[in-house]
Amino acid sequence: MSKEYHYKWEWNLTSSPEALWPLVSDTNRFNRDTGLPPMQLLGIKNRVKQVKFKIPVVSVIWDEEPFEWTYPYRFGILRRYQNGPLHEMRVDCRLDPFGAGTHLIYEVWAKARNALGDMAIPFVIGFYSAKQFGKAFKLYDRIASSPDPKLVLPPKRNLSSSGQARYRLLRERLALGTDADPKVLEHLLEYFQNADDLSIQRMRPYVLADHWKRPRRAVLETFLYATREGILDMYWDLLCPECRGVTEDHRRLGDLRGHSHCNTCQIQFDANFDQNVEVIFRPNSSIRKVDAAIEFCVGSPQRQPHIVFSLVVPPHEQLPFRTILEPGRYRIKASSLEGSQTLVASTEGPAATDFHADTIGWNNEFLKISLSPTIRLFNDTNFPQTFQMERVTWSDQAATAADVTTLQVFRDLFSSEVLHAGEEISVGSMTLMFTDLRNSTRLYREIGDAPAFGRVREHFNILEEAVAREEGAVIKTMGDAVMAAFRKPFSAVRAIWNVQRELTARGIPPLTIKVGIHHGPCIVVNLNDRLDYFGSTVNIAARLPHFSAGGELILSGEIRNDPEVTQFLEQTAAPNSVSRFQGEIRGLDTSMEMWRVKI
């Protein structure tokens, strides 16, 4: 029987478990920082990953069980080796609160396969790894406790002199020819200079915007300009709705398909622009080369930060533990049970909560839970159960395809970025606005063709500028009419409000427009080699301007009842200028509630 070696190390750190967790539980970075070689995923079967890496003389292959963890206090992993000096290794890391800081305990159990393992384990794990672990945890503690992580990291120079020169040249072009944010470009150069390869494999513009304390829109639009100029490359990542890992990574939107498969979860799923298609960036290879495929760990809690805990409970046993939650909705599920239990975390939730996996199944009601609950998991079945609790909402730090494709900057710079022919992808809910000039034919007759044409073109320019200011995009023009898309109802209402005021202030006779705004789910399609929208939401929005006499907004109930729109109209609209009415939309079986707003 092979001998098992056990090592236990302890450190007292100044940072809290919550502050240390994103660093300590990022085992991809931890393995790199502690000297392990890159790993390669060979395959996945029944959620067990087969992995290999090369050490001198031999390639080591092992089966890796899924990580278990409880935010922000513990994680562990079991590996069973098929060859090499080790037979099995288990790791357990605990972060216990210790005053204002953390008492970190890291344990390793390792079984040798042969005499080489008996010689290697005491030196490699017991001596070398112990020193590397201590260095890494102390570095993470300095980072977590510092208001500016750059102050505790040694300066690096990851850009060659030619890369720096090319970046500066292209930045000068951007400064002269675009609205790129100069401060964002300064941050980007510093990031290219100092960030390691793992940090720039998936550059997420909203995450960097929050870190740099710059507006998210400014960072995203600057990244789009930088992509067009050759500083960055843009990619479309398709994320699994269950594990939220990257299942596909495409350079072109046209390579994206409406259906995909997650090898980890073994599920088929549909792409959705608003939920699981994220836009990320990498440096262009002319600036800095990066290996986007290099990995030092194929799984870790930080790959699924939306999952609060993932724990295995043996049959007819229970597992008590504590965790920390943010306010909001969660769901808990077990591996062999259908469905899930929905939870609402708040200060009013009970301090202790029990969850049972049994033949009865989950309660369909919403259950309340504390923000720092004590939880007991009961497995009342005859099989091991993996319990997982996950946040229902997706991170707002993801720049989704819906965010990007409704920006006018994207439409202007990347008009050739379209879906594959015949593809239709859901985009979730969008706000769509249709406008049409009132009495444009009379305008041509009254002031002449050339002046009237100039006024109409001026109206288009005013519309495009107002839409762009509100983070929307003009999808297409149809004669004197315009279709525009926005992410939020309020953005559309404010944009057209400003447009009508601007048109009224310019020229005699003043131009007035008829406007309809609606919000709902859509499908993204290709039409005339441009991204367009299709569905009942589009059809309804397109017909709303017909109810306007000019100088009026026609709002659907979805727009009128939006809290931001309600507040805006209460503060801005004149008394008695908002009225409700019923109208029949061609193609609908019943009449629809609408609101007329005089500008």
Candidate ranges 16-20, 523-527, 582-586; pick with highest mean pLDDT: 16-20
- The predicted structure's pLDDT at residue 179: 92
Mean pLDDT over the full length of the chain: 90
Q: 3-class SS at 106?
A: strand
SS3 call for 149: helix
Least confident of 41-45, 133-137, 278-282, 428-432: 41-45
- Stretch 382-409: mean pLDDT: 92
* Confidence at residue 457, expressed as pLDDT on a 0 to 100 scale: 81
Asked if residue 444 has pLDDT above 80, the reply is: no
Lowest mean pLDDT among 138-152, 383-397, 458-472: 138-152
550-573 average pLDDT score: 93
Residue 480's pLDDT band (cuts 50, 70, 90): confident
Structure letter (DSSP) for residue 36: P
pLDDT of residue 270: 92
Please state, as a whole number, how many other Cβ atoms lie within 10 Å of the Cβ of residue 296. 20
Mean pLDDT of 179-189: 95
pLDDT of residue 62: 94
Mean pLDDT of 159-177: 91
The yes-or-no answer to whether 4-151 and 424-598 have a common fold is no
- What is the residue whose two structure tokens read 């300590």? 24
Tell whether the model's pLDDT for residue 152 goes beyond 60: no
Which pLDDT does position 519 carry in this prediction? 95
- Per-residue pLDDT band for 561 (boundaries 50, 70, 90) equals very high
DSSP 562: -
Residue of 15 and 198 predicted with greater confidence:
15
Residue 276, token pair as written in the block:
């699981």
pLDDT at 299: 86
Please compute the mean of the pLDDT values over residues 102-130 and round it to a whole number. 93
Structural domain boundaries in the chain: 4-151, 161-297, 307-391, 424-598
Centre a 10 Å sphere on the Cβ of residue 160 and count the other Cβ atoms it contains: 12
Summarised one tens digit per residue, pLDDT across range 29-77 is 999 999 999 999 898 887 889 999 887 777 899 999 999 999 999 999 9
Cβ–Cβ contacts within 10 Å for residue 438, how many? 17
Question: How many beta carbons lie within 10 A of that of residue 426, not counting itself?
Answer: 19
pLDDT value, residue 285: 92
DSSP conformational letter for 496: H
CA distance 229 to 232: 8
Burial 40-74 (b: 16+ CB within 10 A, else e): beeebeebebbbebeeeeeebebbbbbbbbbbbbb
**Per-residue pLDDT at 153:** 55
4-151 fold: Alpha-D-Glucose-1,6-Bisphosphate; Chain A, domain 4 (3.30.530)
pLDDT band at 406 (very low <50, low <70, confident <90, very high): very high
Q: Which amino acid is at 574?
A: A
d(CA 89, CA 31): 15
Residue located via tokens 């953390």: 102
Q: Does 152 or 276 have the greater pLDDT score?
A: 276
**Comparison of pLDDT for 147 and 568, the residue scoring more:** 568
According to DSSP, residue 162 is labeled H
How would you write 66-105 as a 3-class SS string? CCEEECCCEEEEEEEECCCCEEEEEEEEEEEEECCEEEEE
Phi, psi for 150 (deg, rounded to 5): -65, -25
Q: Which of 33-42, 153-162, 570-579 is least confident?
A: 153-162
CA distance 276 to 75: 27
Which pLDDT score is estimated for 66? 92
Rounded-to-integer distance, Cα 141 and Cα 543, Å = 59
pLDDT over threshold 90, residue 365: no
Question: Above pLDDT 90, what percent of the chain?
Answer: 69
Query: Which residues touch 150 (CB under 8 Å, ≥6 apart)?
Result: 194
Q: Does domain 424-598 fall into CATH 3.40.640.10?
A: no
pLDDT at 353: 94
Q: For position 505, what pLDDT does the model report?
A: 77
The answer to whether 551 and 439 are in contact (CB under 8 A) is no
pLDDT at 196: 87
> For the residues 382-410, what does the mean pLDDT come to?
92
| Cα end-to-end span (Å), the chain | 84
Q: Which pLDDT value is given to residue 408?
A: 95
Residue 412's pLDDT band, with cuts at 50, 70 and 90, is very high
3-state secondary structure of 480: coil
> What is the pLDDT at residue 154?
56
pLDDT for the residue 571: 93
Q: What is the pLDDT of residue 575?
A: 87
For residue 237, name the pLDDT band (cuts at 50, 70, 90): very high
